[in-house]
Amino acid sequence: MSNQLPVAVAIDIGGTKIAGALVDSDGNVVASKKEFPSWSAPTPKTGGTDVANTVASIAALVKEKALEMGRTPIGCGIGSAGVIDPSGRFIRSATEAIPGWTGTQLAQIVEAATEMPTIIENDVHAHARGEAWLGAGAGHKTVLMVAVGTGIGGAFTINGEIVRGATGLAGHVGHIVTPYGRGHECSCGVDGHLEAIAAGPTMVRWANQRGATVADGIDLERQAETGNQIALEVLTDAATATGEIIAGLVNCLDPEIVILGGGMAAAGEVYWKPLRAAYEAQLMPALKEVPLVAASLGGAAPQAGAAALAFATFQA
Ligand SMILES: [Zn+2]
């Protein structure tokens, strides 16, 4: 019976909102913000401590409800923006998307408020962990995920575990150089990286620099589909650059499957066709069969990944 499965508290910290859920070890969402709206809150713009306190109070609410249901959570898993220390205890560095987030001792703060063991992971890593567990990567031992949205990130998963690297930075797919990016400064300050031309906002900026008038990523895709030549060229170049880099990673890592996540996973053939063409053109012949597919969990992936992280860390 599912009510005998262990449960974990899963928290997803996004740029705009923080949400919690109670998830069992088969990945079933036992309870969420759908039934309990107080398990979701806007991410405080004041940043740092206020964000940590909001996370702690949501985690406490989820735990309280779990105890009422007679199910003691094994712990709390959290997916957060920023580089997370490999210990899973604190935010090693972060951009100003969450002001003052760098250095926040998040695990300690949540543990003090909830008396639950707590572990943190980067949100893209959590996204990949969720897709590898319950989404498009389910059943595969080695999964490469690349997320193309407001930025470009990724993660390589082996037997459900994320390759985090020595400092927690592994997976920064957006910070690989591409010939298409030359002359474009990246968010990291280096010239020519993929993210400087192929993430949602940078594609829009690039199209406008080339003379188009594009409002956002959806508008860019619509204009490309309806014959705007500049929009079509930008989308094609961005997709080509992305496909080439993904193929390079496949040639290097030899995964069973590649998952494209983030907002662009939902784009139409005007994006996917050049992406696939560039990907297939750059694969080594022996790797031609490695599938490139769209993510299947959508916005639920980071939460699933946060739960999976808690089970991987705390389940006996
Ligand atoms: Zn960069």
Residues 214-254 pLDDT 10s: 999 999 999 999 999 999 999 999 999 999 999 999 999 99
The closest alpha carbon to 105, from 96, 116, 92, 115, belongs to 92
The pTM assigned to this predicted structure is 0.90
Measured in Å, residue 191 CA sits from the centre of ligand 1 at 7
Note the pLDDT of residue 71. 95
Measured in Å, residue 248 CA sits from the centre of ligand 1 at 17
Note the pLDDT of residue 47. 86
CATH superfamily of 2-128+299-314: ATPase, nucleotide binding domain (3.30.420.40)
Note the pLDDT of residue 152. 95
**In the chain, what percentage of residues exceed pLDDT 70?**
99
Residues with CB under 5 A from ligand 1 (ion): 175, 186, 188, 190, 193
Measured in Å, residue 173 CA sits from the centre of ligand 1 at 9
Q: In CATH, what class is 138-295?
A: alpha beta
Distance CA 196, CA 170 (A): 19
Distance CA 97, CA 275 (A): 29
For the chain, give every domain's residue range: 2-128+299-314, 138-295
Domains 2-128+299-314 and 138-295 agree in fold: yes
Residue 69 has pLDDT above 90, yes or no: yes
The closest alpha carbon to 297, from 79, 104, 4, belongs to 79
Distance CA 40, CA 58 (A): 7
Note the pLDDT of residue 41. 96
The model's pLDDT over 104-136, given as tens digits with 9 standing for 90+, comes to: 999 999 999 999 999 999 999 999 999 999 999
Note the pLDDT of residue 16. 85
Distance CA 239, CA 29 (A): 34
Measured in Å, residue 175 CA sits from the centre of ligand 1 at 4
Measured in Å, residue 235 CA sits from the centre of ligand 1 at 19
Distance CA 300, CA 121 (A): 16
Contact by Cβ (8 Å): 78, 62: no
Q: Which residues pair with 42 in a beta bridge?
A: 17
Averaged over 272-299, what is the pLDDT? Answer: 96
Note the pLDDT of residue 3. 56
Measured in Å, residue 64 CA sits from the centre of ligand 1 at 42
The closest alpha carbon to 53, from 119, 94, 85, 101, belongs to 101
Distance CA 4, CA 301 (A): 24
- Helix axis angle, 217-225 relative to 269-282, nearest 10°? 90
